[in-house]
């Protein structure tokens, strides 16, 4: 038997879903207006910039960026077309591919970062005090850990 949610839990869940979707859409829109990068593009470039040698296997990149492999492939194809990323076969695994951040891609991500971080602050962090920030961080970390155990 499935346990029913309380009215408060339903309200909280529905509000969370709505706010999450609207926040991602807003951040994506503002980032594209300012830099012509989608939110997924920015996350790909950021993940590569943080990686050793500014390169990741496509499978690792998919896990870091949290998008489907088909969506990742499509976005990386676009980033290759504009010169922000290159691809290279993995020497030790002929089926594997590296995604490698170019200097142009790095500079584009660096240029977009201040505005994007400002948008995140404006639309998310400015609405909470330090104790609320701590509670959000603690809560989503526990949810992520629980989900990670079920992979």
Domain ranges of the chain: 7-149
What is the CATH number assigned to the segment(s) 7-149? Answer: 1.10.10.10
The pLDDT score that the predictor gives to residue 84 is: 98
Closest by CA position to 75, among listed 105, 31, 38, 30? 38
Which residues have C-beta within 8 Å of that of residue 27, sequence separation ≥ 6? 39, 116, 119, 120, 123
Positions in the chain short of pLDDT 70: 1, 93-94, 149-151
Note the pLDDT of residue 151: 54
Which residues, at least 6 apart from 57, have a Cβ–Cβ distance to it below 8 Å? 90, 96, 97, 98, 99
What is the side-by-side strand order in the sheet with 55-57? 55-57, 93-101, 85-90
Q: How far is the CA of 15 from the CAs of 18, 21, 22, in angstroms?
A: 5, 10, 10
Q: Is 116 exposed, middle or buried (0-12, 13-18, 19+ CB in 10 A)?
A: buried
Q: What is the pLDDT of residue 149?
A: 67
pLDDT value at position 63? Answer: 86
Query: Can you give the pTM of this predicted structure?
Result: 0.88
């Amino acid at each position: 038997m499935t346990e029913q949610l309380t009215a408060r839990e339903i309200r909280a869940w529905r509000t969370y879903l709505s706010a999450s979707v609207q926040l991602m859409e807003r951040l994506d829109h503002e980032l594209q207006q300012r830099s012509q990068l989608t939110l997924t593009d920015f996350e790909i470039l950021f993940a590569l910039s943080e990686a050793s040698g500014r390169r990741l296997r496509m499978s690792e990149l998919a896990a870091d960026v949290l998008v489907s492999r088909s969506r990742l492939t499509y976005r990386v194809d676009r980033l290759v077309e504009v010169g922000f990323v290159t691809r290279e076969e993995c020497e030790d695994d002929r089926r594997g591919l590296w995604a490698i951040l170019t200097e142009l891609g790095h500079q584009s991500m660096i240029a977009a970062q201040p505005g994007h971080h400002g948008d995140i602050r404006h639309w998310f962090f400015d609405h909470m005090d330090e104790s609320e920030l701590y509670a959000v961080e603690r809560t989503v970390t526990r949810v992520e850990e629980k989900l990670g155990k079920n992979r």
